[in-house]
């Protein structure tokens, strides 16, 4: 199951000291998001006293709740070595609460990890999104359409060229199909994000898309940090396309930054 593989990946990062300080967990079902976050938090630290959760009070997560949560993060863990914060309904935080959270994301307390649960990360401030790693749990319902399959095949080609550090002009010459219209560009970005996830799983020895020797060789060329940076650039490109910025410029600019 995709969610189980994602959890295993993040837990492995935690054990190796490679876990990033903040994640956005996005999905359609609140119960699935909460269950995933709690299971992940328990796998990172077995001490419930060090796991702190807040949620919406009425229509939004209130500023006072965020303030109290951040104050808890500034203190040492009560029992273990890590303090975990889970913010349910994160996309309902007021702008004031999000700006308060931003200060912590810019200078995260040592040993703390934040999980922001959201149905739509686009409702979070761009400055919040840029400082978190986005994990899309809805990938468990991957499309099997011809468009998605074609996009993934192209993502494999482009992703391989990027990891092998081939020239930008060689890569740009193969991007025409992904940049000719918005629908194909979005499908390509989705496929690129999935491809990077599969590469990470392969590097960890988790069977997900890692079915041939070529994929295994490529997995040696990417680090967790490099994959997270690439996924952040993919999210940036997705936001630009949603703002109706030219798809050709957006995709090529993303690739240039990845190189």
Asked if pLDDT for residue 165 goes beyond 60, the answer is yes
**CATH number where 247 lies:** 1.20.272
Last residue of some domain: 84, 108, 141?
141
Last residue of a domain, which of 113, 141, 169?
Answer: 141
Same domain? 8 vs 117? yes
* 123/240 same-domain check: no
* 245 band by pLDDT with thresholds 50, 70 and 90: confident
Residue 149 has what pLDDT? Answer: 80
137 and 184 belong to one structural domain:
no
pLDDT at 207 over 80: no
Phi and psi (nearest 5°) for 134? Answer: -90, 125
Distance CA 183, CA 185 (A): 5
> Is 0.85 surpassed by the pTM of this model?
no
Kindly tell me the burial class for residue 230, based on how many C-beta atoms sit within 10 Å of its own C-beta (0-12, 13-18, 19 or more): buried
Task: Among 25-34, 60-69, 207-216, name the most confident range.
Answer: 60-69
Q: How many domains does the chain have?
A: 2
Question: What residue numbers bound the domain in which 134 lies?
Answer: 2-141
pLDDT tens digits along 91-119: 999 888 999 998 888 888 878 899 999 98
Cα separation, 149 vs 255, in Å, equals: 20
pLDDT in tens, 68-78: 999 998 888 88
């Amino acid at each position: 199951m995709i969610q189980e593989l994602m959890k295993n990946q993040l837990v492995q990062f935690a054990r190796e000291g490679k876990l990033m300080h903040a994640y956005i967990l996005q999905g359609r079902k609140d119960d699935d998001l909460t269950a995933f976050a709690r299971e992940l938090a328990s796998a990172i630290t077995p001490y419930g006293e060090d796991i702190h959760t807040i949620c919406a009070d009425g229509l939004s997560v209130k500023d006072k709740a965020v303030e109290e949560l951040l104050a808890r993060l500034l203190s040492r863990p009560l029992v273990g070595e890590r303090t975990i914060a889970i913010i349910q309904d994160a996309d309902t935080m007021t702008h004031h609460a999000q700006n308060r959270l931003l200060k912590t994301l810019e200078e995260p307390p040592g040993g703390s990890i934040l999980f922001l649960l959201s149905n739509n990360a686009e409702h979070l401030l761009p400055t919040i999104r840029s400082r978190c790693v986005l994990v899309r749990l809805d990938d468990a319902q991957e499309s099997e359409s011809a468009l998605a399959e074609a996009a993934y095949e192209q993502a494999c080609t482009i992703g391989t060229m990027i990891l092998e550090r081939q020239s930008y002009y060689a890569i740009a010459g193969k991007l025409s199909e992904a940049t000719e219209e918005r629908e194909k560009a979005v499908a390509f970005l989705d496929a690129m994000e999935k491809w990077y996830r599969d590469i990470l799983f392969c590097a960890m020895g988790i069977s997900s898309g890692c079915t041939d020797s070529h994929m295994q060789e490529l997995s040696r060329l990417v680090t967790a940090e490099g994959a997270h940076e690439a996924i952040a650039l993919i999210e940036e490109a997705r936001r630009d396309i949603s703002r109706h910025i030219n798809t050709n410029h957006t995709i090529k600019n993303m690739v240039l930054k990845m190189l």
